[in-house]
Structure formats: C-alpha cells, structure tokens
Amino acid sequence: MSRKCWILIILVLAVLPITGCSPITDQGGGLPQKPDPIWLADGFDFPVGDAHGRGWAVTGYRFLDWSRYSNSYHPGEDWNIPGLGNGDHGEPVYAVANGEVVFSGWNTALGHVILIKHAISPHDFVWSQYAHLDQRWAAKGERVARRQPIGTVGRGPNNKFAAHLHFEMRKEDLPANAWPRTNGTAWAKSKVTDYWLHPTAFINQNRPH
C-alpha cells in the first residue's frame, strides 16, 4: 500500500471520533447505569431487650401456636417482659437487621405496624414485621440499621391487648395485614411455613459474626 493511502487512512480514523461517527458506537443511549449497591444485612439481632433478647421472652402465642383469638395458626411470636403485665408498654423496639422500611402505618387488625425488607444476599430477601406498636419512629422508604430503635411496644388497636410486641419473620413479600387464612379458613401449618419463618430460630441461625 502506498504512503499516501496510509496517510489517508490515519486521517480518516483520527477524524471519525471528532465527528461523532466512531466505528465503536453505543446504540443504547449511554453506558448502562450500575444499580445501587444493596445494603446487605450483616446479621440479625432480637427486636426487644438487648441484642440477644435477654430480659424478654415469648410469653404469649409462639410461632405456629393455634390462636383462639384469630382461629388460625399464629405466624409470629408475642414478646414481652415476663411477669411485668403492661409494664413493658413504651419500651423500645429495634430493627433486627439493616434494611429498608416498606410499610409504616396503621391497620385495624394489628394497630401500628412497621415492615422492613432485608437483603441477605444480592438476590435473596426476608422481611421482619413489628406490630401492636404504641409509637412508630421509622417511615416508609427509610433505611434503618441493625439495633436502630424504630418504635415502642404498644397494646394494639384501641388497647385491645396486654402490652407486647407481635413479631414476624417472613420469607415472602406479603402485605402488612397478611394473615394465614383465606375467607376465614385457617391455612394448614405447611402452607404457613411456605410464607413465614420461625422468628427465634431464624435469628439464632443468623447472628452477627
């Protein structure tokens, strides 16, 4: 190839990027944006008492107890301070892990409720729910840290219950007022465990390192 041809080729290649006609074009309207990093949970603590739940216990309905009140299997745990009656009313409730608040509000069945989504891997999630609260200190869309106070223990809608925290761990994305029954008919235990986790067992298996 002649020297003039080489010079012409070099000039064309040099001019193409300036004119916007580079042979390496982006057909997608710009480089793809990297997704925001997911705030992974670094372990799970208990929602009341100290990080280990000391000083408190599940003294009401336990996970999968038959609830005479709702005529269904209980999908969570009822935490309070043993022997204190309503003395734990107003005590702080803590987020069990890093996460994002996906619901903070009121419903007639559970009273004040906070529901938090937790990433346990970039693609796997669990949800923690805190119900019967007296006060809510976290809003929808807020990111909360493990052991951050998010509210206080209450007595449910219109103070219908003795003071306690109704606490759930869920493996599926359910609405805040979800309950394991359909048209008044209770779900079987096996179906409940398709959607809910045993709260204490899950936390004990996923304590911070």
Strands 111-121 and 124-136 come out as: antiparallel
Residue pair 128/62 in contact by the 8 Å Cβ criterion: no
Inter-residue contact 189 to 82 (CB < 8 Å): no
3-state secondary structure of 114: strand
- Is 103:176 a contact under the CB 8 Å cutoff? yes
Instruction: Give, as one character, the DSSP assignment of residue 33.
Output: P
Model confidence at 148: pLDDT above 60? yes
Max CA separation in the chain (angstroms) = 98
Residue pLDDT, tens place only, 106-135: 999 999 999 999 999 999 999 999 999 999
Tens of pLDDT, residues 80-111: 999 999 999 999 999 999 999 999 999 999 99
Q: Give CA–CA dist 51/192, Å, rounded.
A: 27
> What DSSP string describes 67-93?
ETTTTEE--SEEEE-TT-TTTTTT-EE
Ordered structural domains, the chain, with CATH:
57-173+185-205 (2.70.70.10)
pLDDT of 1: 52
| CA 136 remoteness from chain centre | 15
* pLDDT value of residue 2: 54
Please answer whether residues 94 and 148 qualify as being in contact, where contact means their C-beta atoms are separated by less than 8 angstroms. yes
pLDDT range class, residue 5, cuts 50, 70, 90: very low
Length of the chain: 209
Whole-angstrom CA distances from 117 to 120, 131, 174, 192, 195 are 10, 15, 11, 19, 14
* Contact between 108 and 179 (Cβ < 8 Å): no
Give the range among 27-31, 152-156, 168-172, 205-209 with minimum mean pLDDT: 27-31
pLDDT for the residue numbered 188 = 98
In angstroms and rounded to an integer, the radius of gyration of the C-alpha atoms of the chain is 26
Q: Flag whether the pTM goes above 0.85.
A: no
- The one-letter amino acid code at 138 reads A
Tokens of 130: 């805190």
Query: Which residues share a beta bridge with 164?
Result: 154
> Residue 22: pLDDT above 80?
no
Helix (H) or strand (E) holding 109: none
